[in-house]
Every structure is written in C-alpha cells, then in structure tokens.
Amino acid sequence: MSARFFQSVIVCLLFLGMLTCSQQELQARTRVENICSVYGMREIKLTGMGLVVGLDGTGDGPKNLPTIRSLAAALKHLNNPVVDLKDLAAANNVALVMIEATIPASGIRKGQKLDCFVSSMLGAKSLRGGRLLVAPVATPEIGNEVFAGLCSGAVILEDELSLATGKIINGLVMERDFELSFIDRRTRSITLLVDKRHAGFHTASEVARVINAEFSFEAGNSQLAIAQGPGRVFIRIPRQYIESPVEFIAAVMEVGIDRPHQQARVVVNPKSQTVVVTGEVEISPVVISHKNLTVGIGNPAEGGLPGGFVPVNGQPGQQNTQRLQELVEALNQLRVPTEDVISIIRELHRSGKLHAEYDEH
C-alpha cells in the first residue's frame, strides 16, 4: 500500500479522536443558563372568583347560597336586581369557580392575553359547555383590591375524568403592565440564583470563576462576579454594557461551565419502580441481609455469610466508602427485582449508611 494511503488513515484516526474528545467535552459542559436563573425573574400568580353560566343542569344548584348571592350581585350589576333570592331557586346552570392564571417570568404588557383556568368551588358536577362571565383577577404583588386583568370565555375540559375543572384559551386580558425588575440600578448589578439541584459552594464559586474568565477584558483589573453563598452569585455590569444590560445578561447566560457540581440525591418511586441517583452518592461499609440475599458493602465481615453473597468493594486504594451506583449495578447483574433494590436503598437510608438526600414518593 502507498504511503499516501497510510497518511489518509492516520488523518482519519486523528479526526475521529478529535471528534470523540470534542463530543466528550460537549457532554461535560453546560451553559450557565441551564443551572442558574436571574434574580427578579419569576412567575406571578393571579387569582379571582367568578361565575360559569350556561351549564346543562350540572351547576351548583339553589342550595349553595354563595353561588346564588353571587348570581344576584351579577344581575344587579347588569341593572336587573333580584328582590328575593327565592326567585333564583331554579338556577341550576350556574357554578361558582376559582380562577387562576400565571404571568410568565419574562413579564407581560397591558392588552396581552393569557390562558386561565377555572375550578368549581361548590357542588357543580360538570363545567362542560359553560362560559365564564367577565371576572377580575388580582395578585398580592400590587394589592388584591387592584385587579390585574379580566377573564371571560368558553370553558374547555382538558380531562374527561375531571369535569369540575377547565381551561379558557386566551381568556385573560391584561389591564396592567408587569415589568419584572432584575437589574439593581443602584449597584448596576444582577444576581444569579443557582438552582437547588446544583446549589453548593463549589458550583457558585465555579460559576463566578468562568464568568470572570469570560469577561476579563471588560473587567480590567477587577472581578465582575463574586460568589456570595451556595446559591447566589453577584455580578457587576461592566461599563461597556451599562446602556445594553440585556445583551450582557444574554452573554453571561451563554458562558460554558465544566461538570457543575450536583448534590448527591436519591429519588425512588415504589409505584413506578424507578430509582434515580444524582451526583456521587456514597455509602459506608455495611452488610445487609434481604430475603435470600446478603449484600456486603465495603469490607465485609470475615468468614462465610449465609445466602447469596454480593461483595461490593469498589476500586483498590479507595477510601472506606463506595458509590451507590456500584451496588445497584451489582444487584442488576444478579437480576434482583427493582422492588428489592428499593427496599435495600431504603434500609441504607434508615441506618444512616446512605450519604445523600433521600426522597421517596
């Protein structure tokens, strides 16, 4: 074969090696926006009460006085006052509902529309075919006495198994602007909040480090980012971005970070037989006997052990703690049922040998 052929093979192998390394690097890196959020950007809940009318005999009925009083008040507002509540004794096509809507973290302007949701509060059997009369919604953010928007429209059932709840598409029309403040004008800064799954002193300091490295030119001899705790990173907006802070925030959120620290956590769901392990979950040396299986973790006791014995010793030279992942892998190789794996993990947690946050639901 020619030398050119061998050169081509070598070039291909080098290219494949570079591609593999780059893929591993991409898998190990994530963006700041995937583990952090900007303080001040949060959803706002709106709530209110209203009447759904037009039901086919599936409303609250005349025995529910709050509904009848609300209907009488609505009729009075429409210049059709009711002298006696007994006049509404046949009103079984009306339901008193709770109204809910959510303003997104990006904010919203007056005149924009949002979906809203209604839920029966009393005895209505179904909201099918109903329409919500115009009703205000408010939030404690501006005071419950000041309404933020008006809701109305046709109710759509999202789940046939839940007839007492429904959705109104674009049913909320905003009557006020909601511009969320995420920039501290006094200090010309923003604050990043590390999400609870990754929060820790290591992650916060690493986020600050990569941001300072990315904007070293803009910062000059000072540092823009300072970790203020396991879940907070203070960032000063550089002079070059004072007039365009959104551009700076966008650049910050795009900064890459290598392998962010993840809190050791174990989540199990016995119903779905699911086990989720995050972070480096460690377990101390222990021997567990479960049914006809004996599991030795770390340095098992000398001598024979009854039943099937599964040693999980980790790597040579390792400290006296092993990873939970090694135990789960060993049990899976023996085809141990998932419910038994969950029982073993549960007992490890109860005995204090599982060094991680444990969540069972």
Question: What secondary structure does DSSP assign to 181-244, as a single string?
Answer: --SBTTTTEEEEEE-TTT-SHHHHHHHHHHHHHHTHHHHTTS-SEEEEETTEEEEEPPGGGTT-
Which tokens belong to 140? 């404690």
Instruction: Identify whether the C-beta of residue 99 lies closer than 8 Å to the C-beta of residue 132.
Output: yes
End residue of a domain, out of 258, 273, 303: 258
Longest dimension (CA), the chain: 105
Instruction: Identify whether the C-beta of residue 193 lies closer than 8 Å to the C-beta of residue 36.
Output: yes
d(CA 143, CA 303): 71
**Sole residue written with tokens 């038994």:** 340
Domain identity same for 195 and 160:
no
Domain identity same for 94 and 166:
yes
Number of separate domains in the chain: 3
Residue 48 lies in a domain: yes
End residue of a domain, out of 229, 258, 287: 258
Domain identity same for 154 and 62:
yes
Domain identity same for 197 and 158:
no
pLDDT tens, the chain, 361 aa long: 444 433 443 333 333 344 444 444 444 578 999 999 999 988 999 999 999 999 998 988 888 888 888 888 888 888 888 777 777 877 889 999 999 999 999 899 999 999 999 999 988 999 999 999 999 999 987 776 788 999 999 999 998 888 999 999 999 999 999 888 889 989 999 999 998 888 889 899 999 999 999 998 888 788 999 999 999 999 999 999 999 999 999 999 999 988 666 677 888 888 888 888 876 788 888 887 877 777 777 655 444 444 444 444 444 444 445 778 778 877 878 788 888 888 888 888 888 888 888 888 8
Residue 344 lies in a domain: yes
Domain identity same for 59 and 154:
yes
Instruction: Identify whether the C-beta of residue 290 lies closer than 8 Å to the C-beta of residue 253.
Output: no
Domain identity same for 221 and 278:
no
End residue of a domain, out of 236, 258, 280: 258
**Sole residue written with tokens 């969320």:** 180
Domain identity same for 130 and 54:
yes
Residue 4 lies in a domain: no
State the residue range of the domain holding 70: 44-174
Which tokens belong to 196? 């609870």
Residue 7 lies in a domain: no
Domain identity same for 106 and 131:
yes
What pTM was computed for the model?
0.65
Domain identity same for 66 and 170:
yes
Which tokens belong to 282? 């460690």
Domain identity same for 204 and 223:
yes
Which tokens belong to 144? 């419950």
